[in-house]
Amino acid sequence: MNTPSHFAGAPRGLRSDWCGDLRIDDVGRTVSVTGWVARRREHGEHLAFVDLRDRSGIIQCVVDGAHEVRTEYVLRITGTVRERPDGTRNTELETGAVEIVDCDVEVLNTAEPLPFPIDDRRDVDETLRLRHRYVDLRRARLQRNLVGRARINAAIRGAMDRQGFVEVETPMLIASTPEGARDFVVPSRLSPGSFYALPQSPQLFKQLAMVGGVDRYYQIARCMRDEDLRADRQFEFSQLDLEASFVGQAEILDFVTEAVSDAVATISGDRPVTFETMTWYDAQERFGSDKPDVRFGVELTELTEVFASTDFNAFKAPCVKGIRVPGGAELTRNRLDALTDRAKKLGAKGLVWAKVDGPTAITSPIAKFLTDREVADTVEMLGAESGDLILIVADDRPMVRRVLGALRLDLGRPGVGDGGLRFVWVTEFPLFEGLDESGNPIPAHHPFTMPHPDDIGLLDATGDELTSIRSQAYDLVLNGWELGSGSVRIHRRDTQQRIFGLLGIGADEAQEKFGFLLDAFRFGAPPHAGFAFGIDRLTALLLGEENIREVIAYPKTQSGADPLTGAPSPIEAGQLTELGLRVVVPQPR
């Protein structure tokens, strides 16, 4: 990945070589290495083996004479590289064929016993790890992750530069950007009572940059969203954020594909060959999700027609779909009951299961309610064979998709790092994802997204009909994780005002919140489109980490705290006064 040979020509300071770099070819050379004592083993009275570790790896040094050297002391060792004697080679170490002898040891610093051992194989309490993150960072896994992340960023920058994009920094102290989350706010000292928001994304600034003729903008941008934290979410995260003028969806997909392919190649050596494209509707119909994990089959199969005139009441529903679980007939009754409970928790009225005994025969509690034709058609439509399990849900369409989509993942999803990297572009997202309490539509992406050209006529619709309008928004999905989103933007003032109106944002409110954007649209805004994807998620997936905290140098805990610095913490009374603030601590209820 980022081996020392990449930076062979760079200044070396106290070292002549990196620990992990020494090989048979170096035998006979006098070298100086620097780093931390990973391990010390006594060998007789005056001889010790010291494993010295730096970012690149570990080298064994044979140290003569009495030295006060303990674990994690910082040393500089100068000596001669020799081939390890027969029978003492260590095949688990890249440097395992050699060692350094005749060592001159300089102790650059001592170290107290560590709060936890630096050992990738041992699980350590996360709060303890984060409190001493500087110790944790010494672990090979985290070193690998940070280097991997830097390589990914460099690859992305290279790809964007090559495609004519200009890296532009946008401000951190801004007025609110709507991305659907809560803002973090910063009080203003010079205007007491007023606040900046930290950017949820650079969305409006990048659009303004298009009006400003930048034409192709990108930034590896820090974004801040005050949302509940999860394995794949932190308060602050990094995105590759981009925007381009005089292009549409196809070109944006190409730009991003290029950057992501380079990022993958820098880690794995191969460029991913395919990025599939699928409409939102098809993703929902086939995978029951807007972030389809296409590493495995178990697709949703439409059965509505099969049961169009059924006598079985539970299947008299607007939509009936099924999934086939290969070999699933082996599932125990307990497991099937658990699946039924899960389906009900997800909102289904029930779940029908059937074990397939042959092309026209099933074992199922509801078998007696179905006609022979219904059984035969179901088995055939699903392509099921003897020994398979069929699960069927009947309800309204969104519910059927949601329930079967979730069961499909429960039953078939490969682990992180298995099944290769399957990228899917999901296009034609709905413009609105539903209606709020006042009956106003809620934007599925954000309010700056252009409706699908074929659906513009539907903007006059009302109520639920509005949710059938498609947009020109698209997502990039990797192995069932949403990596990022983007859209073709509205670039005309009248269209933007119309969308604000539909969203229930009146003319005055629109002017107050987004007046600067509407104003900019008066002065020649070019057609433009963009995208942003999460670097933390991409890095975690490429490095096979389940939790993005493992690829972030200084992450927060699940409750948003930083045990290292103690943030968040109260500020001094004087600071509050200066900011014109008074703290009202909520009383426990």
At its nearest, how many Å lie between ligand ASP and the CB of residue 264? 21
Q: What are the two backbone dihedrals, phi and then psi, of residue 84, each rounded to the nearest 5 degrees? A: -70, 145
Nearer to ligand ASP, 429 or 531 (CB): 531
Nearer to ligand ASP, 324 or 491 (CB): 491
Residue nearest to ligand ASP (CB): 201
CB 371 within 8 A of CB 406: no
At its nearest, how many Å lie between ligand ASP and the CB of residue 266? 23
Q: How far apart are CA 478 and CA 65, in angstroms?
A: 56
- Beta-bridge partner residues of 279: 427
* Token pair belonging to 90: 């260590």
Nearer to ligand ASP, 425 or 531 (CB): 531
Sequence-distant contacts of 67-70: CB under 8 A, at least 24 apart: 67/105, 67/107, 68/107, 69/37, 69/40, 69/105, 69/107, 70/37, 70/40, 70/110, 70/111
At its nearest, how many Å lie between ligand ASP and the CB of residue 203? 4
- DSSP 8-state code for residue 44: S
At its nearest, how many Å lie between ligand ASP and the CB of residue 273? 26
| Interacting residues toward ligand ASP by CB under 6 A | 179, 201, 203, 485-487, 530-532
Nearer to ligand ASP, 130 or 159 (CB): 159
Convert 450-473 into a string of H (helix), E (strand) and C (coil). Answer: CECHHHHHHHHCCHHHHHHCEECE
Nearer to ligand ASP, 95 or 487 (CB): 487
Cα–Cα distances (Å) from 570 to 468, 518, 574, 582, 585, in that order, read 48, 39, 12, 12, 11
Nearer to ligand ASP, 488 or 502 (CB): 488
At its nearest, how many Å lie between ligand ASP and the CB of residue 205? 10
Cα angle 35-41-46, degrees, rounded to a multiple of 5: 100
Nearer to ligand ASP, 79 or 530 (CB): 530
DSSP H helices, 288-435, are: 333-345, 372-382, 397-412
Nearer to ligand ASP, 20 or 486 (CB): 486
At its nearest, how many Å lie between ligand ASP and the CB of residue 530? 4
Q: How far apart are CA 271 and CA 264, in angstroms?
A: 6
At its nearest, how many Å lie between ligand ASP and the CB of residue 204? 9
The residue written with tokens 């794949």 in the block is 232
Residue 42 CA, distance from chain mean position: 45
Which helix (H) or strand (E) segment holds residue 143: the answer is helix 140-162
Nearer to ligand ASP, 77 or 499 (CB): 499
At its nearest, how many Å lie between ligand ASP and the CB of residue 360? 50
